[in-house]
Structure formats: C-alpha cells, structure tokens
C-alpha cells in the first residue's frame, strides 16, 4: 500500500531532525519510514558513514539533495528515465 507524501513542512521537520541527529552522532542513517526519497535517504546515509565531526561540505550536500526532493527534481528525473 502506498502512502501519500507528507506535507513539505513535515518533511522539513523530519529532515532537520534526522540531519541534526546524524551530525550529533546519535543516528546511524536515515530511517526507512521517514518520508525521504531514495536520493535524500542515500545522501543522509552517506553523511552518517562519514567520521565525526561531519564535514560541512557533506552536510551542505545533504541539504541540496533534500531541496531537490522538495522541488520535485528527483521525481522528474525518475519520470524522464522511464
């Protein structure tokens, strides 16, 4: 069963919480039930795999990937690939 995409405000809160926990070292990756698309989840997982302290450029890259989720870029890229 497919679930509707959470509202953007909820996605932003969730992303920020996950990112903060990864940077703090209390989260080891992106939970599967977070609402993040594959690209964003993979970016968060890659950040979690980085040694502490997390590189600022890797944190920035996660934010960029998430912005692409929110603006629909990832969805359009998936549709174009079909």
Reported as a single tens digit per residue, the pLDDT across 21-33 is 999 999 999 999 8
pLDDT score, position 46: 97
Range of the domain at 78: 14-30+38-48+70-82
1 pLDDT above the threshold of 60: no
* 8 Å CB contact between 63 and 49: no
CA separation for the pair 80, 60 (Å, rounded): 26
Question: Would 9 be classed as within a structural domain?
Answer: no
Q: What is the mean pLDDT of the chain?
A: 93
If one counts the domains in the chain, the total is: 1
Average of per-residue pLDDT across 2-13: 86
pTM passes above 0.85: yes
Question: Would 5 be classed as within a structural domain?
Answer: no
Question: Would 44 be classed as within a structural domain?
Answer: yes
């Amino acid at each position: 069963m497919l679930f509707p995409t959470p509202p953007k405000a909820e996605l932003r809160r969730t992303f920020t919480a996950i990112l903060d926990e990864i940077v703090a070292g209390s989260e080891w990756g992106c939970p599967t039930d977070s609402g993040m698309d594959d690209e964003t989840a993979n970016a968060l997982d890659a950040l979690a795999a980085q040694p502490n302290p997390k590189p600022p450029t890797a944190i920035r890259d996660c934010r960029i990937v998430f912005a692409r989720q929110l603006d629909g870029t990832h969805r359009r890229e998936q549709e174009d690939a079909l």
